């Protein structure tokens, strides 16, 4: 029996960390068999906080059952108008479920009237995600200059990748949006690392924009060609070139395969981890989505039975959730805190 498919849309900010957070959330939600996940990151439609006033332009929302807004901030001077616009938009689609995750302060009270909107504020960029965190989230934090937050786990490779991501995501350049998402999905970390170590004379970015009258480096042109190929061939890559890349590349560059671990209360990056569609990553992602869904207001608590029931609603028949497995995961929970006999989203 096939699982009932849910159409899931991730809408992310078109900057360096926004692309990375969107891709991390996509990878995690895609572990759930019943989720058909797509992503919109667009330098025109999701560039800044004014996106909240132009949600109709994100036409992909109409086809989605669940919509996840990630890294889309509210303007400090314009948040009232923007929050009202989001509430009005969400209320126009009462059958859809909207989720909002951001590392900027969120106007919680202004968003509360939308019964089908759930909101999560996480100050640390490296934690601004649902499900497992990989080395991508370390790079995302560095893109936002949250160096101190990841100082205990970052390496010079993460630093170079952050520079590469900022250069790749620069507005006015050839990569921001669909092309950069394709590169991330294909784990083109070596090429992004090369962009990060490229000659700075080719990457003068006033206010984060790439001037149209300045020459492009060979590295940027090659990335553009690779992204164009990936999109034209639905993610397929040249196997010979891929093999050469794997043998020539230092493994540590592949940050998508580095998993953040929280053993003994200390964060570490584990190398060479693999994930099965039925493994821990699925359980963590489902539980965190379920916890957010149950957070009907700031500080809301819920029981273990409610959490499991909500997770099973999202999983449907696509994933068999064993209560014993869930209890093991919750013993080392990082996204929940225990309040008496109940839980609360951190």
Q: List the chain pLDDT tens, one digit each, 346 residues.
A: 345 789 999 999 999 999 999 999 999 999 888 899 999 999 999 988 889 999 999 999 999 999 999 999 999 999 999 999 999 999 999 999 999 999 999 999 999 999 999 999 999 999 999 998 999 999 999 999 999 999 999 999 999 999 999 999 999 999 999 999 999 999 999 999 999 999 999 999 998 899 988 899 999 999 999 999 999 988 665 544 454 444 344 546 888 888 877 665 667 887 755 544 346 788 889 999 999 999 998 889 999 999 999 998 888 665 677 888 888 778 766 788 889 989 998 8
What was the pLDDT predicted at 322?
80
| Under 8 Å between Cβ of 17 and 143 | yes
Q: Which of 131, 132, 128, 127 is nearest to 261 (CA)?
A: 132
Q: DSSP letters of 14-31?
A: SSHHHHHHHHHHHHHHHT
HSE on the CB side for 339, CA within 13 Å? 11
Inter-helix orientation angle 323-331/304-315, to 10°: 120
What was the pLDDT predicted at 193?
97
| Under 8 Å between Cβ of 290 and 315 | no
What was the pLDDT predicted at 299?
87
Q: What pTM value is reported for the model?
A: 0.90
Report CA dihedral (337, 317, 320, 21) to the nearest 10 degrees: -50
Sign of the C-alpha dihedral computed for residues 183, 145, 43 and 36 taken in this order? positive
Structure tokens that stand for 127 in this block: 């934690």
Q: Which of 258, 287, 66 is nearest to 157 (CA)?
A: 258
Helix (H) or strand (E) holding 6: strand 6-12
What was the pLDDT predicted at 5?
86
Locate tokens 């029931």: which residue?
Answer: 309
Domain boundaries, the chain: 6-257, 280-345
Locate tokens 């989505």: which residue?
Answer: 289
HSE on the CB side for 45, CA within 13 Å? 16
* C-alpha span between 277 and 196 (Å, rounded): 32
* C-alpha span between 266 and 245 (Å, rounded): 33
Model confidence pLDDT, tens digit, residues 204-257: 999 889 998 889 999 999 999 999 999 998 866 554 445 444 434 454 688 888
* Pairing of β 97-102 and β 66-70: parallel
What was the pLDDT predicted at 87?
98
What was the pLDDT predicted at 323?
82
What was the pLDDT predicted at 319?
65
- Topology given in CATH for the domain delimited by 6-257: Rossmann fold (3.40.50)
| Under 8 Å between Cβ of 172 and 44 | no
Model confidence pLDDT, tens digit, residues 195-208: 999 999 999 999 88
Output the CATH code of domain 280-345.
1.10.10.10
Give, as one character, the DSSP assignment of residue 154.
-
What was the pLDDT predicted at 331?
75
CA 88 to chain centre: 25
What was the pLDDT predicted at 42?
97
Q: Which of 168, 171, 172, 204 is nearest to 189 (CA)?
A: 168
């Amino acid at each position: 029996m096939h699982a009932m498919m849910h159409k899931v849309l991730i809408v992310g900010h078109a900057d360096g960390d926004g692309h990375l957070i969107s891709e991390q959330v996509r990878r995690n939600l895609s572990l759930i068999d019943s989720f058909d996940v797509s992503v919109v990151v667009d330098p025109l439609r999701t560039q800044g906080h004014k996106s909240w006033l132009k949600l109709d332009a994100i036409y992909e929302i109409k086809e989605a059952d669940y919509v996840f807004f990630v890294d889309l901030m509210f303007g400090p001077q314009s948040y009232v108008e923007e929050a009202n616009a989001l509430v009005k938009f969400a209320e126009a689609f009462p059958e859809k479920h909207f989720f909002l995750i951001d590392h900027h302060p969120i106007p919680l009270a202004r968003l509360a009237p939308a019964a089908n909107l759930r909101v999560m504020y996480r100050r640390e960029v490296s934690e601004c995600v649902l499900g497992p965190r990989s080395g991508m989230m370390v790079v995302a934090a560095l893109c936002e200059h949250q160096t101190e937050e990841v100082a205990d786990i970052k390496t010079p490779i993460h630093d170079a990748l952050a520079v590469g991501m900022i250069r790749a995501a620069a507005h006015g350049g050839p990569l921001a949006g669909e092309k950069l998402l394709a590169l991330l999905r294909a784990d083109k970390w070596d090429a992004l690392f090369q962009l990060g170590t490229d000659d700075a004379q080719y990457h003068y970015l006033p206010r984060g924009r790439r001037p149209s009258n300045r020459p492009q480096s060979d590295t940027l042109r090659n990335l553009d060609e690779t992204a164009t190929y990936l999109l034209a061939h639905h993610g397929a890559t040249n196997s010979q070139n891929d093999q050469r890349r794997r043998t020539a590349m230092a493994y540590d560059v592949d940050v998508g395969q580095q998993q953040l671990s929280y053993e003994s209360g200390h964060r570490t990056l584990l190398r060479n981890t693999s994930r099965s569609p039925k493994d821990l990553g699925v359980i963590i992602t489902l539980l965190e989505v379920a916890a957010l869904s149950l957070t009907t207001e700031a500080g809301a608590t819920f029981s273990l039975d409610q959490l499991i029931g909500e997770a099973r609603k999202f999983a449907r028949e696509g994933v068999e959730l064993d209560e014993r497995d869930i209890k093991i995961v919750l013993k080392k929970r990082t996204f929940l805190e225990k309040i008496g006999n109940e839980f609360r989203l951190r």
